Amino acid sequence: MLAVHNAEQKQTIDAIGGKADQIDKLISNLFHATLEELEQLEVKPEELSSQVLAEMITQSDHLKKIKSSSICHKGDVVVSQDYGVAAMALGKGAYAIHQSGKWYTNDNIDQMLMERHLNKKARRSSHKNHMKGPRKRTEDDDVRFGQSFEKLILIAKSKEGAQSGTL
C-alpha cells in the first residue's frame, strides 16, 4: 500500500483507483459482449480452392505487410517451407516446392493447411513449451531437393512454353 502524505495525494490515488475500476468494468463488459456475439455467430463450412485462400489473405492485408504476393507471378517457382506462402503462390498461378522437395499443388495444399492448423491446436493443448525442431539436413536431403526442383523447373518451362506457343 502507498503511504499518503497529504490530502491532495490521497485524492489523486483515489481518482486513479476509481479510473482503474471503470476501465476494468469496461473491459469486462466488452469481453462478455464479444462472447455473446460469438455464440450467435453462424459458421457454414464449405470447401474452397487454395486460390480463394490467397485472395482472402491478400484482401485482409490492410497494413500492406504481405510482400510475397507482389513478388510472385504466374509461372514463377517459389521455394518455401511455409504452407501459407505456398498457398498464395499457387493462387497466383506459380509453382511451389518445399525445401524437402515435396511439391505444393492445388490438390494437396488445402490438406496441408488443415494439418498445420490441427497440429498447432494440438501443440497449444499439450502444454509443452519446448518441442524438438526438425532434424539436421543431410546431403541426401540436398540431392532429393535438387532432383525434385530440376523436375519442377522442367515441367514449369514446358507448361509455360506450351501456353505461350514457344515450344
pLDDT tens-digit series, residues 41-64: 666 766 666 666 667 766 776 676
Q: Is residue 30 part of a domain?
A: no
21 domain-assigned: no
Model pLDDT, residue 13: 84
pTM: 0.53
Is 43 inside any structural domain?
no
Closest CA to 87 of 26, 72, 27: 72
Q: Which cell goes with 71?
A: 513478388
The reply to whether 56 falls in a domain is: yes
- Kindly tell me the number of DSSP H helices and DSSP E strands found in the chain: 6, 3
pLDDT value at position 95?
A: 93
Q: Which residues constitute the domain of residue 63?
A: 50-128+139-164
Domain assignment present for residue 157? The answer is: yes
pLDDT tens readout for residues 101-160: 999 999 999 899 888 888 888 877 776 665 677 788 889 988 999 999 999 999 888 887
Residue 167 pLDDT > 50, yes or no?
no
> Does the structure show a pLDDT above 60 at 166?
no
Question: What pLDDT is attached to residue 116?
Answer: 85
Cell of 2: 502507498
What pLDDT is attached to residue 152? 92
* 77-102 tens-digit pLDDT: 899 888 888 988 898 889 999 999 99
Is 64 within a domain? Answer: yes
Look at residue 69 and tell me whether its pLDDT is greater than 50: no
pLDDT of residue 70: 59
What's the pLDDT band for 71 if we cut at 50, 70, 90?
A: low
- Name the amino acid, one letter, at 35: L
What pLDDT was estimated at residue 125?
78
Q: Are 76 and 89 in contact (CB under 8 A)?
A: yes
Write down the residue that cell numbers 488443415 correspond to. Answer: 114
Instruction: Walk across the sheet containing 95-97 and list its strands.
Output: 77-79, 95-97, 103-104
Counting the structural domains of the chain, the total is 1
Distance of CA 129 to the CA centre of its chain: 20
In a domain, 37, yes or no: no
In a domain, 150, yes or no: yes
The number of C-alpha atoms within 13 Å of 130 and in the hemisphere containing its C-beta is: 0
